[in-house]
Amino acid sequence: MENIALIESFSEFKDDKSIDKPTLMAILEDVLRNALKKKYGEDDNFDIIVNPDKGDLEIWRNRVVVADGEVEDPNQEISLTEARKIEPDFEVGEDVSEEVKLIDLGRRSILSLRQNLISKVHEHDNTNIYKHFKDLEGEIYTAEVHHIRHRAIILLDDEGNEIILPKDRQIPSDFFRKGENVRGIIESVELKGNKPAIIMSRTSPLFLEKLFEQEIPEVFDGLINVKKVVRIPGEKAKVAVDSYDDRIDPVGACVGMKGSRIHSIVRELGNENIDVINYTTNNQLLITRALSPAKITSLKIDEENKRAEVMLKPEEVSKAIGRGGHNIRLAGQLTGYEIDVFREGVEEDVELREFADEIDDWVIEEFAKIGLDTAKSILEQDVDDLVKRTDLEEETIRDVMRVLREEFEEENNS
């Protein structure tokens, strides 16, 4: 059969569940019509009959019989002599239908038809995959590790769809082996060329929110609302929750007895420390809760500049700031306020900004990011710990400490 190559291609897809028969027939007809246009200049006088069950097809060209020597358009017209070779009783003005064999299009055209058919079917599949995953954006998805690369892990789902988990969307403690199942949210889906690029994330705050929905029935049922989630992936997170039902304790329901409910979420996130707090529209109370486990002595809010000055007992300061400055940074993100921490009863302390003539502004800002904005708050810290918590070099930190010590020595000597 001269059309065997094309029919084999058709048969490859006709039982594929991902594409229905009418769509496959339409794709095949479209590919054939493009080939006919290329050879004959137009295709509107051709009938294409596709048999989806047998994977077979017929092409018929319709022309009008004209007198010998009067053929102006050989695609639309046929001479009486040529017509009578098909049927001896044809007359001028009658319609002639003649079957066109694929071989008439040429071997090269048949090969091109096969390639175009495969390409069009794949394009259709890719469009469906794109639409499917676009609808799943922001939802939790599970796939299996197929290949581990330096900058990303390539996952495959049960349908063989490729999903990318980039390095910067992985929790720092993540370690996966080939064949292992991975959970994350579908963060984005884009068409690159004709192929969908599906990106998964495990670092997005939305992943933690969706885990709450999945693991805590009251959140899933809408009895508890997750108002806001902020994260430093793999380190610490704060989740503000609320309930319209006064009979429900939203924090207690999310954490569970001795942390039983939240334990599976913590484990999924590489032992990320999760603080769950009661949401409130009272900003003073929200900031107080957000700085937990530290206990605040007093609080002053500057609404215009979205700043909060928090007074704490000296022993509470390190709790408010947290390891690596994580607690105060997340509290600021959760509440929307820039939080400044002050020690109660430390009158002789000096604000760091007063040393602006000796210490660069950007260095002062680096210390402020982790809640250290006074001389004594820095002098109380360990140098090695400050190197880890800031983007400052050890030499810079030691220079700052030297300047601050000299200030206090001068005061003591005077």
Tell me the per-residue pLDDT of 249-258, one tens digit each, with 9 for 90 and over: 999 999 988 8
Q: What is the mean pLDDT of residues 184-200?
A: 89
Q: Mean pLDDT, to the nearest integer, of 122-143? A: 86
pLDDT at 355: 85
- Nearest of 381, 319, 309 to residue 341 by alpha carbon: 309
| 398 — pLDDT class (breaks 50, 70, 90) | very high
pLDDT for res 180: 94
**Nearest CA to 58 among 32, 34, 88, 30?**
32
d(CA 95, CA 64): 5
- pLDDT, residue 17, reads 47
What's the average model confidence in pLDDT over 301-308?
91
Q: How far apart are CA 349 and CA 358, in angstroms?
A: 17
| pLDDT-wise least confident of 118-122, 143-147, 284-288 | 118-122
* pLDDT at position 239 over 60: yes
Most confident of 260-274, 311-325, 365-379: 260-274
**Is the pLDDT score of 46 beyond 50?**
yes
Q: Can you give the pLDDT at residue 1?
A: 37
Q: What is the 3-state secondary structure (H, E, C) of 138-185?
A: CCEEEEEEEEECCCEEEEECCCCCEEEEEHHHCCCCCCCCCCCEEEEE
- Percent over 70 (pLDDT), the chain: 88
Question: What is the chain's mean pLDDT, rounded?
Answer: 85
Q: How confident is the model at residue 387 (pLDDT cuts 50, 70, 90)?
A: confident
Greatest CA span in the chain, whole angstroms? 128
Average pLDDT value for residue range 207-217: 95
Higher pLDDT, 321 or 9: 321
With 70 as the cut, is the pLDDT of residue 54 above it? no
pLDDT band at 62 (very low <50, low <70, confident <90, very high): very high
pLDDT at 5: 45
Whether the pLDDT of residue 362 is over 70: the answer is: yes
- Give the pLDDT of residue 327: 93
Amino acid 107: pLDDT: 66
The first and second tokens of residue 156, run together, are 């495959």
Segment 351-364 mean pLDDT: 86
Mean pLDDT computed over 100-126: 71
Do β-strands 338-343 and 307-312 pair in parallel, antiparallel, or remain unpaired?
Answer: parallel
First to last CA, the chain: 108
**Residue 106 clears pLDDT 70, i.e. is over it:** no
> Tell me, what's the pLDDT at 2?
45
Closest CA to 189 of 158, 168, 213, 162: 162
Instruction: Work out the number of other CB atoms within 10 angstroms of the CB of residue 200.
Output: 26
* Higher per-residue pLDDT: 300 or 40: 300
Asked if the model's pLDDT at residue 3 lies above 50, the reply is no
Per-residue confidence at 377, pLDDT binned at 50, 70, 90?
confident
Q: Cα(362)–Cα(380) distance, rounded to whole angstroms? A: 21
For the ranges 79-88, 120-129, 131-140, 359-368, the lowest mean pLDDT is seen at 120-129
pLDDT of 342: 82
| Closest to 10 (Cα-Cα) out of 57, 42, 74, 63 | 57
Give the number of other Cβ atoms within 10 Å of residue 43's Cβ.
Answer: 19
Residue 141 in this model has a pLDDT that exceeds 80: yes
Lowest mean pLDDT: which of 87-101, 177-191, 279-293, 348-362? 348-362
Domains contained in the chain, CATH given:
4-131 (3.30.1480.10), 136-203 (2.40.50.140), 205-279 (3.30.300.20)
When pLDDT is cut at 50, 70 and 90, the band that residue 120 belongs to is: confident
Which class for 126: exposed (0-12), middle (13-18), buried (19 or more C-beta within 10 A)?
Answer: middle
